[in-house]
């Protein structure tokens, strides 16, 4: 019954797609790493547009160790209050709440969605520590290296959910993996800390009880020399907080390039303080002194000529990685997965796949382009083409994005 589908990538996009597709199809996931759901554990916002879809699919909130997003605080560089806004997508848009959580908790629950017998259809088969090395889009073949050496997988279609450095995208476009990736001389220093770490400083009382009020605090530098620096703090569970500081790459540009990575681990706290101390008061700078700090390079994927070729299609960051400034990266990826499951729900013949791919792209492309452009606008990373267009207003963006109800309603609209 159904199609034989190979998903390259076991991250949020790949596991979401497997969960939605398994109801009608046979799904195999190829994941290059080990899915232990503890490493590289950073915070995410799962906003109403995707949380609504996950709730309908059967994702359990109690498994996520999440907090509901209720506030957005805007503070000055000395931690003075400038504005406090309530954030309630349920009340404002009559939809699901928006939540903050850790990536690992979400990914673990999506693994249950993809593989548990609690959901309809056959559980997806997951191959871990299996690195995709080559893809033949015409033949529907994937070559992968695993613990037992090279293996060839063959299916009716291939879904590339393999991130910004997508092998599947390279095969579809016939280009080098990195040819579509754009850098912006921007990075974030990122660290985690516990809520207990905040309690020694009463000026952070507004962040210290996420079960009562949880959200995001935004602090922008005000001096002309540091206008592109800002610090964000946001809850990632009832017990933890994430801190990110946006700044220029400086010497890290060469480190990223030489190491062929977008993440540099264990940056000395003194190096971070050197960057932010001139623009922000000690309370904010000291947030980076509690734990390990990593440097993450900000990148996105330029608009692509094609998202599919032959039997292969890309979704999520592989197709449209966006900068993190609107908090929508994982959300539009989950939207992709739900849309793919809906569009392919009645497809049983491989001959019908190209038309289904066309329908998927026509549904998704304008929406993700809209998100990408807004992300560049709020981060002052606009392209020359962006600058020719009327800026997207915050209320316009919120209504368009947060009220999304899934592929069926979007196609009818």
Q: pLDDT of 219-236, one tens digit each? A: 998 877 687 899 999 999
In a domain, 61, yes or no: yes
CB 316 within 8 A of CB 206: no
Residue at 71 is within a domain: no
Co-location of 258 and 216 in the same domain = yes
CATH value at residue 323: 3.50.50.60
CA distance 109 to 191: 24
State which of 282, 300, 318 marks the end of a domain.
300
- Whole-prediction pTM: 0.96
Res. 353: pLDDT tops 90: yes
Query: How far is Cα 233 from Cα 245, in angstroms, rounded to an integer?
Result: 9
10 Å Cβ neighbour count for 393?
Answer: 11
167 and 308 share one domain: yes
Tell whether 24 and 165 lie within a shared domain: yes
Domain extent, residue 272, equals 182-300
- Shared domain for 357 and 390, answered yes or no, is yes
If 0-12 CB within 10 Å is exposed, 13-18 middle and 19+ buried, where does residue 138 land? Answer: exposed
**Residue 73 counted as domain residue:** no
**Same domain, residue pair 29 and 95:** yes
Residue at a domain's end among 279, 300, 321: 300
Tell me: do 341 and 283 sit in the same domain. no
Q: Is residue 75 part of a domain?
A: no
Instruction: Report the percent of the chain where pLDDT is more than 90.
Output: 90
192 and 157 share one domain: no
262-305: per-residue pLDDT in tens? 999 999 999 999 999 999 999 999 999 988 999 999 999 999 99
If asked whether residues 355 and 271 sit together in one domain, one would say no
Among 274, 300, 326, the domain boundary falls at: 300
Residue 169 to residue 24: CA distance in whole angstroms: 25
pLDDT score of 40 more than 70: no
Residues constituting the chain = 413
Domains in the chain, number: 2
Residue 323 and residue 224 share a domain: no
The confidence score (pLDDT) of residue 200 equals 82
pLDDT at 314: 98
């Amino acid at each position: 019954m159904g199609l034989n589908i190979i998903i390259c990538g076991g991250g949020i996009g790949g596991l979401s797609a497997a969960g939605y597709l398994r109801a009608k199809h046979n799904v195999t996931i190829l994941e290059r790493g080990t899915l232990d759901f503890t490493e590289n554990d950073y915070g995410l916002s799962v906003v109403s547009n995707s949380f609504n879809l996950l709730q309908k699919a059967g994702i359990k909130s109690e498994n996520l160790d999440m907090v509901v997003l209720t506030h957005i605080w805007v503070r000055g560089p000395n931690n003075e209050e400038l504005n406090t806004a309530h954030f309630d997508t349920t009340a404002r848009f009559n939809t699901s709440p928006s939540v903050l959580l850790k990536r690992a908790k979400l990914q673990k629950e999506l693994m249950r969605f993809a593989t548990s017998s609690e959901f309809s259809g056959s559980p997806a088969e997951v191959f871990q520590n299996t690195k995709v090395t080559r893809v033949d889009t015409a033949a529907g073949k994937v070559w992968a290296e695993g613990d037992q050496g090279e293996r060839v997988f063959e299916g009716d279609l291939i879904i590339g959910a393999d991130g910004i450095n997508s092998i599947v995208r390279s095969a579809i476009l016939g280009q080098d993996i990195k040819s579509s990736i754009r850098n912006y001389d921007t990075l974030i220093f990122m660290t985690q800390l516990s809520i207990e770490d905040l309690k020694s400083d009463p000026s952070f009382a507004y962040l210290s009880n996420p079960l009562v009020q949880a959200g995001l605090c935004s602090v922008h530098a005000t001096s002309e020399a540091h206008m592109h620096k800002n610090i964000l703090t946001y809850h990632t569970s009832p017990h933890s907080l994430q801190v990110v500081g946006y700044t220029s790459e400086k010497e890290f540009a060469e480190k990223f390039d030489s190491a062929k990575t977008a993440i540099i681990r264990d940056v000395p706290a003194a190096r971070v303080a050197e960057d932010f101390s001139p623009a922000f008061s000690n309370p904010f700078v000291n947030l980076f002194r509690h734990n390990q700090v990593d440097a993450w390079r900000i990148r996105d994927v330029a608009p692509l000529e094609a998202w599919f070729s032959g039997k292969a299609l890309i979704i999520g960051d592989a197709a449209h990685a966006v900068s993190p400034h609107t908090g929508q990266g994982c959300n539009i990826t989950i939207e992709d997965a739900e849309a793919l499951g809906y569009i392919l729900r009645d497809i049983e013949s491989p001959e019908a796949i190209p038309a289904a791919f066309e329908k998927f792209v026509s549904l998704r492309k304008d929406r993700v382009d809209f998100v990408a452009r807004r992300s560049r606008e709020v981060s002052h990373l606009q392209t020359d083409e962006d600058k020719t267009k009327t800026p997207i207003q915050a209320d316009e963006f919120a209504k368009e994005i947060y009220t999304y109800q899934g592929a069926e309603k979007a196609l009818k609209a």
